[in-house]
Amino acid sequence: MTTTASTALAAAEHLAALLPTTTPLTVTGFDASAAPTADTPAVRAHYVGSTSADLIVVAHAAIAEALEGAGEDVSAADALRPALEAAAGTLGAGVLDTAQVTAVGDTFDDPDVEAFALVDEAGTAQAWFGIRVRANTAPAPSEPVATATALDDAGERARMRLLHDVELVLTAEIGRTRLPMRQVLDLVPGTVLELDRAAGSPADVMVNGRLVARGEVVVVDEDYGIRITEIVAPDGGQ
């Protein structure tokens, strides 16, 4: 995989992790036969830095429920801003321009665009992401420019607070195991499966399929709960 392709994949994975969808989406290869039509709305933003890029997201249907709960003042561009910033963050220091909503057109036909489909658990494409990366020799915007841009976006960021009430699905995972298909088909009540984690080890807390924290299992009013003991950084650090 080339450097550009690996950078594009990392951007797609960071974006998928922060999309306000009701079900987790994973990144897979782009299938032109299942691509959105030219008149499908897309959110576009330009990133300027030591590595610049054009970012394109088609996800209006996937985030429809989040938009409905956020209110009329929040647009698709507002709702996708955190995901776009996460994707742009993989490119290094720079400034993400204000996102705009336009028709996707022939964007995914451009050979310079690295395109991905974002699929649900059934493998059905629910959203698409494209990125056109181009390295440049111009220096990254200075801090005053970034600050001015942040001030210009203050109103937009204020509207983003309306998304704070959008519900995300959190799951707790105490361990995993792998079995051949024949053993899965032979499962019966009473079968004991040995997981890949020792008793007493912390459980993983996942948001849209992405690890965000770890914690210990507790009982709260006869229900299971998780006491957070560790926050996991986006890059896997602590």
Query: Which of 55-59, 101-105, 165-169, 217-221 is predicted with the least confidence, judged by mean pLDDT?
Result: 165-169
Per-residue pLDDT reduced to its tens digit, 35-84: 999 999 999 999 988 788 999 999 999 998 888 877 777 888 888 988 99
**209 has a pLDDT exceeding 80:** no
Cα 233 to Cα 47, 169, 210: the distances in Å are: 23, 19, 11
Q: Do 77 and 43 meet the contact criterion of CB atoms below 8 Å apart?
A: yes
Measure the CA–CA gap between 116 and 34, rounded to whole angstroms. Answer: 11
pLDDT of residue 136: 58
Report residue 30 CA to chain centroid gap. 16
Measure the CA–CA gap between 126 and 175, rounded to whole angstroms. Answer: 28
pLDDT of residue 10: 92
Q: How much of the chain, in percent, has pLDDT values that exceed 90?
A: 33
Tokens encoding 155: 């109103």
Q: How much of the chain, in percent, has pLDDT values that exceed 70?
A: 82
**Rounded to a whole number, what is the distance in angstroms from the first to the last CA of the chain?**
28
Domains, the chain, ranges and CATH? 3-165 (3.40.1550.10), 170-231 (2.30.330.10)
Look at the block and give the residue holding tokens 């493998």.
Answer: 123
Report residue 206 CA to chain centroid gap. 13
Q: Do 69 and 5 meet the contact criterion of CB atoms below 8 Å apart?
A: no
pLDDT of residue 5: 86
Q: What is the pLDDT averaged over residues 207-220?
A: 83
Beta strands in the chain (DSSP E): 26-29, 41-49, 51-58, 94-96, 100-103, 114-119, 125-135, 170-173, 203-207, 210-220, 223-231
Count of CA atoms in the C-beta half-sphere (13 A) of 106: 4
Q: Which of 103, 127, 113 is closest to 19 using CA atoms?
A: 127
CB within 8 Å of 29: residues ≥ 6 apart:
116, 117
Query: Which of 55-59, 119-123, 160-164 is predicted with the least confidence, judged by mean pLDDT?
Result: 160-164
